[in-house]
Structure formats: structure tokens, C-alpha cells
Amino acid sequence: MPSHNILGTALAKGLVEYGFDVTYVGIFEDTIPSTGYRKILLTGIADEYQRILAGKFNMVDMEQKSPFQHIPLMNEVGNALTESVLKHPNMQNILHSNEHFEAVIISQGLNDGLKILATHFEAPLVIFSSLGPNPWINNVVGNPEPPSYVPNVYLRYSPEMNFFQRFYNFVFGIYRKYDLDYVFYPQQGRIVKKYFPEAPDFDEVLYNVSLVLLNSHESVTQSVPLVPNMINIGGYHLRPPNSLPEGLKEFMDNATEGVIYFSLGSYVDPSFIPDSTWGTILGVLSSRKEKVLLKWPYDFLADQPHNVNISKWFPQQDILAHPNLKLFITHCGLLSLTEAVYHSVPILAIPAIADQKLNAAHAEFFGFGRKIFLSEMTEENFQNALNDVLHNPKYRDNIKYRSSVLHDRPVTPIQLAAYWVGYVIKHKGAPHLRVAGARMPFYKYLMLDVIAAIVSAVFIALFLIRTIFGRIMKPNAKYKVN
């Protein structure tokens, strides 16, 4: 996704600032030429990937699809992207060069086959996750994700789940685990063998993880367990606000009743929203006294309300920092959510896919936002949600608290990232940070074999006791005397 490129370039620039010599391989062209690091562009993949996504599903329609339907689609997209990267001529040039790298950082996202790059260059493997802890990461480092209070990233549950939600979370987690171990990983392993015939067993590639850098923080989402080689660096891409462009600055400065900022992110196209639903949204926004900034992918918006300003791009962090901004209507991607918390702006989430639903559930659970799904969008629901978040002081109070937690850190998150990357290089992969559960079979990790043995022993003991007592207590047989 384009937003992942924002994170990638921010990490590359941050590592350069701390003395690293960085080669950044990406699929998106930078709007601003890269400085300080070498950029290798895998041309054409971004367009190919967008075509694959567009042909498989509409991102807005995915809101109503079952999580069980997401996994096969994401597997297919992940396999296509992995192979596109490995076969690209610019990647092949790197692979067949004599270059040496002291560490390889892979942006994790259903592309586990790319971990072969660390094996190929004989360097420690660092995983970067644009999300927080999630099944794809937890599975390869042995990080616990108790289904009793850690909802799966595909679900829309808060940490306090009822019985049905915990049941669904547990069952879906088993399915997801089965799919990873017996469907997706073998597929990725075959791709690796295709381009690296001499590669070791895929398990050696898959679990050889020295460090995980997580784009998350406990101020934004729920607190969860982390094994020693998982480090939260959420918010490392944040920066002090810049001055707004003159026209935009005037628009916001003169908004005496405040401004609402509406953006569904870098991928979700709001024009895909059904006309009736979009008409409802625009109708409600046009009735508001606040001004509205609407991120819109086209130059023209039919029936554009008088109080709405559209643009294909807005300087989001600078807008969020403006004192007249009262509300952020967002798809609830983790970057946008983190930026809202950093700048203390309450949110109204309209989530569609992937972690957006879970992020929205966290915002609602922690009291700094509300969520409303497109399938639930009515004039009354939307208007009530806007009034609640705008006028109920609890939302602003709660996000101010969360913002203070995000700001209160002993070192900057990019400094933390640089330290730990240097640490695993210095300590040759830092194997002492890895837990034994990373490569443990599922049945051993959950003690299913021990539980089965105990249950079997109890069953056998009860059966024997019943049999013995049955014979002891059985009445003596009566014999007929002639």
C-alpha cells in the first residue's frame, strides 16, 4: 500500500540519521527524491499489484465479507506479490551482485518468502510490521496471542469479548493457524525454491528472525504480550507540524465553528461507496456548521456542499495539528489512528478491511472515538455519531490522555529502532532473544499432547474403577439345587 511506503521511507531516513548506510528496495516512486539512502525501484509492481487487488475485490465491499473469505484472497495476493519481487530484474541484479549487507529488513505482509534475502546475504533478519502484533508475526517468533482477550486482526472485537466473540475468535484462530502452516507457508516455500534452488528447508528461512519492529504502541491499541525480540516503535514517522499552504491555512483559520477532516486513506476509493450511502454522507456534512476537508480522488465532486473543500491530497499531519480541527473521520488505518492520537484529535471511524475494524474497536473501547460501518450508514446514525464525538467531552479527554502516553517515552521511537538494529548486528543475530516456542509444533505449544494424555489417563482410570466396582457390587449368582 502507498501508506506502507511512507513507513518504509521514514524508517530508511531514520536509520541513515543514526549512521547506517541504507539500501531501500521499494515498489513506489517517491514524490520527493530520496536523500541519504540508495533507492532501488522495482518498477511496474505497484501497478500490477493494484490491478490484482482491483480484480479480486472492492475494498469497500470487503466490510461485509466474512473473515474466512479474506484469507484465501490475501494468500493469493501475497503469493503474486512475493513472486513479482523476486523475479524483478532490479532485484535479480542485487541478488547476483557481490554486495554485502549486515542486516536485511523485510516489511512483513504475507510475503514470508522474501525472508530468503537474509539467508542469501547471510545477514540477521529484521521484520518490520506496519501493524502491531498479528498472527503473521506472532507465528514466526512464538509470541502468545491468547484468544480470550486478543482479537484476531481480521475481526472487529474489543479486548473485552463476550462468550460468542471469544468462541468465534478461537475457531477463526485455529483456521488461520492451519492456513498459515499447511497452505500459505508451503506455497511461499515453493516460490522460494523456484528462485533459490539451493535454499535450505523453508522452516530454516521462515523462523530465522532476529528482531521484529512493530509500528504500534500501547497508547493507540491494546496492550498485549511481546517476546523479547519484539519492539514497539509506533509513531516513529511522526514529525512536528509544518505551515499549511496559504489557501488551506486561510480555510482552517477562518473556520470559527471548527473543521472536520474526512479521509479514507491512500487506497480506499470513496467513489466506490454506493450512491445512496454517499448521498447520505454528503447530505449530513452539508447540514453541519463546521467546515469539511474531504480527501477526494478526482477534481470534481457532484453536488459538492458549500462548506466542503476537496483535494486529492492533504498534508494530514499538519491538518491534525491545527487548533481548529475538531474531528477526524477516518478509515482507521494504523498510521492515521496514530497521528490522530499524537495530535489529540477524536475520531469517527468508517473501517473497511484488514486491521481497520480492529483499530476502530480499540478507539471505541478506549473512549477516544466511535465507529460506524457503511452498511449501517443512515442519516440519523451518522448525525448522532458526529454530534456525540464532537460535543461529548469524554472523547477529547480520553484522546488527550492517550496522546500524553504516546509522547511520554524515554527515547524517540526511531532511536529505539536504530539501537535494536545495531544490537542484532553486533550480537550476530542475537539468538539469545528468541524464545523456544517459535519453532514448536502447534500441539506442543498449546500442550495438546499433554492434555490428551491426562484426559486419556482419567478416562482409563474411571473405566477401570467402574469395571472393578461393577464386579464387586454385582449380586452373587443363584444356583438351582436339585
Mean pLDDT of 238-259: 91
Mean pLDDT for the chain overall: 90
We report the CATH number of the domain holding residue 323 as 3.40.50.2000
295 & 213 share domain: no
* C-alpha atoms less than 13 angstroms from C-alpha of 211 in its C-beta half-sphere: 27
257 & 387 share domain: yes
70 & 183 share domain: yes
Give per-residue pLDDT as tens, 203-234.
999 999 999 999 999 999 899 999 999 999 99
Residue 63 has pLDDT above 60, yes or no: yes
Asked if residue 461 belongs to a domain, the reply is no
Asked if residue 79 belongs to a domain, the reply is yes
Asked if residue 365 belongs to a domain, the reply is yes
Whether the full predicted model's pTM is greater than 0.95, yes or no, is no
Minimum mean pLDDT among 36-40, 126-130, 168-172: which range? Answer: 36-40
In percent, the amount of the chain with pLDDT more than 70 equals: 95
Residue 272 has pLDDT above 90, yes or no: no
DSSP alpha helix (H) spans, 196-333: 202-206, 246-253, 275-286, 316-320
Q: b/e map of 55-86 (b: 16 or more CB within 10 Å)? A: eebbbbebbeeebeebbeebbebbbbbbbbbb
**Per-residue pLDDT at 53:** 67
Which secondary structure element, helix H or strand E, spans residue 182, and what is its range? none
Asked if residue 482 belongs to a domain, the reply is no
**Top-confidence residue, 343 or 65:** 343
Q: How open is the CA angle 123-127-129, to the nearest 5 degrees?
A: 165
215 & 359 share domain: no
At a CB cut-off of 8 Å and minimum separation 6, what does 419 contact?
411
Residue 299 φ then ψ, to 5°: -80, -15
Domain boundary among 407, 428, 450: 407
Number of structural domains in the chain: 2
Query: Which residue is it, cell 499524537?
Result: 342
**Per-residue pLDDT at 69:** 83
310 & 325 share domain: yes
Domain boundary among 367, 392, 407: 407
In percent, the amount of the chain with pLDDT more than 90 equals: 66
The band of 265, judged by pLDDT with boundaries at 50, 70 and 90, is confident
Asked if residue 58 belongs to a domain, the reply is yes
Residue 43: domain span: 2-236+412-439
38 & 170 share domain: yes
Query: Which residue is it, cell 480522488?
Result: 297
77 & 20 share domain: yes
Give per-residue pLDDT as tens, 78-98.
998 999 999 999 999 999 998
**Top-confidence residue, 269 or 408:** 408
Asked if residue 448 belongs to a domain, the reply is no
**Per-residue pLDDT at 52:** 67
The band of 51, judged by pLDDT with boundaries at 50, 70 and 90, is confident
216 & 317 share domain: no
Residue 473 has pLDDT above 90, yes or no: no
46 & 172 share domain: yes
Q: b/e map of 399-421 (b: 16 or more CB within 10 Å)? A: bebbbeebeeeeeebbbbbbebb
Strands 211-214 and 291-295: unpaired
**Top-confidence residue, 231 or 354:** 231
Asked if residue 473 belongs to a domain, the reply is no
**Per-residue pLDDT at 475:** 64
Domain boundary among 354, 387, 407: 407
Asked if residue 385 belongs to a domain, the reply is yes
The band of 59, judged by pLDDT with boundaries at 50, 70 and 90, is low
422 & 395 share domain: no
175 & 321 share domain: no
30 & 110 share domain: yes
Q: What is the DSSP string of 359-373?
A: HHHHHHHTTSEEE--
**Per-residue pLDDT at 480:** 55
Give per-residue pLDDT as tens, 161-174.
999 999 999 999 99
- In angstroms, the CA 329 to CA 336 distance is 10
Mean pLDDT of 126-142: 91
